Amino acid sequence: METIEKIQQQIKENPILLYMKGSPKFPSCGFSAQASQALMSCGEQFAYVDILQNPDIRAELPKYANWPTFPQLWVDGELIGGCDIILEMVQQGELQGIVKETAEKYAAQNAE
C-alpha cells in the first residue's frame, strides 16, 4: 500500500486521529505532549500515530495535509490543525464540542 493510501485509510477509519511524536502517555516533544493532553481533556477516545515510528508517514503527511508541522489533529476526516490551534480551541471551548459530537456520531453509526 502506498503511504498516501495508508494515511487516507487511517484518517477514514479513525474519527479522531492525532499524528504526533511519541504516544499520549510518552510524548517525544513538547508540542505533541500539549496536543495530546488537550485532546485527552475532552474525555473521548482517540487514535494516534507515532510519526517517529512511521518515517514514511512523517515524510508524506505534510504534503498530503498541506500542513508542515506535527502534531496534526484530524477530526471526522478534516484537518483541524497543530498544537497552537488545538490549544486555542480548547481555551475557547470549541474542541470539546467537536470531539464529543464526532465521538457520538460514530458511536451511533457503529451501534446500527
Known binding-site positions? 21, 29, 58, 70, 83-84
Binding-site residue numbers for glutathione are 21, 58, 70, 83-84
Using CA atoms, how far apart are residues 84 and 72, in angstroms rounded to an integer? 10
Are 75 and 102 spatial neighbours (Cβ–Cβ below 8 Å)?
A: yes
The secondary structure element, H or E, covering residue 23 is none
Is the distance from CB of 19 to CB of 57 less than 8 angstroms?
A: yes
Q: Summarize the annotated binding site for [2Fe-2S] cluster as residue ranges.
A: 29
